[in-house]
Amino acid sequence: MPRWDPYEFTTERSWGDAAELASEAVTDVLAVGDVHGDSRNLSAAVDLAVDLGVGAIVQVGDFWLADAHWSRLNPLESQFMWTAHDSPLPIVVVDGNHEVWPALGRYAVTPQAAAAMASRRPLHLGGSIWWAWRGSVWRWGGKAFGALGGAVSPDRRGSAVRGYRWEEEATTEDDLARLMANSDAEFGGSLDVLFTHDAPVQVRNLGSGMSGVPWDLREAADAGRRLLGRAVESTEPALVLHGHWHRTNRERINDTTEVLGLSADGMNNSTAYLTTRPTLAASHMT
């Protein structure tokens, strides 16, 4: 039965104590594009992940993380969070621009969040939900993973999204510095996989997704993408997986890095299968 009671963020576990998230426990991952708080799309992705036998799900932003203190929280959002909470597989969420930032921002200053950031690992939000905050890093299948979420919303002035607050949506210099410091401390500066929400600036095959967007928002979005580009140059990942653009993309952006862009909302190629065995590889699912 669906659960409708308000969802509270609760950090009951640490990454280091979660045996199902240990490096040797997760060798295959299902990456999932934007789901925008839709329980049906999330359930379909979880079912696919179970069928594939992966160890974890990574969602690349615009998940719609929300808690009971958000004034616009409605029963459907509560049901969505409980659906994620009850997943049989861990769901690691990279924050996007359309998360409920008042909820995440409030939780980010709690002692629980401070402990996770000190460990450099994603933060538990309850049940099967983990938040891969900007700069968090971890190891799966012997490979180095990192997250650098955030993006500027080209629709931030639209009536459909006006109720959200935007102050913390954009990737910042501090976020980039945190990722670089954590990857250096844990892995000597390099990553094998970087999960982002927006695409790094080096990605060229995204089409005209910014056509009609006011110039100031376009400039702000481009600044965020340049920060992601610097993250790629610094950490030299073999793979970058992102969402945000709601379209499929795959291209090599330099000698070492391949980028996969995921579509959204359960459409074709809104998921990708990533394996560390025998070598690191990722491919879109149709």
Q: Which CATH superfamily groups domain 25-285?
A: Metallo-dependent phosphatases (3.60.21.10)
Residue 74 in this model has a pLDDT that exceeds 80: no
Give 109-137 pLDDT, tens digit per residue: 999 999 999 999 999 999 999 999 999 99
The percent of residues in the chain predicted with pLDDT above 70, rounded, is 94
Listed residue (222, 212, 286, 281) closest to 248, CA to CA: 286
Taking each helix axis from N to C end, the angle separating 39-52 and 75-85, rounded to the nearest 10 degrees, works out to 10
Band of pLDDT at residue 102, cut at 50, 70 and 90 = confident
E strand intervals along the chain: 28-32, 56-59, 91-94, 123-126, 129-132, 137-140, 143-148, 193-196, 239-242, 249-252, 258-261, 271-275, 281-285
Put simply, whether the predicted model's pTM sits higher than 0.85 gets the answer: yes
The full set of domain ranges for the chain reads 25-285
Q: What is the pLDDT of residue 118?
A: 97
Give 227-270 pLDDT, tens digit per residue: 999 999 999 999 999 999 999 999 999 999 999 999 999 999 99
Q: Which amino acid is at 236?
A: E
Taking each helix axis from N to C end, the angle separating 215-235 and 173-187, rounded to the nearest 10 degrees, works out to 10
Alpha helix segments (H runs only) across the chain: 39-52, 75-85, 101-107, 111-119, 173-187, 215-235
Give 156-203 pLDDT, tens digit per residue: 777 666 566 677 899 999 999 999 999 999 999 999 999 999 999 999
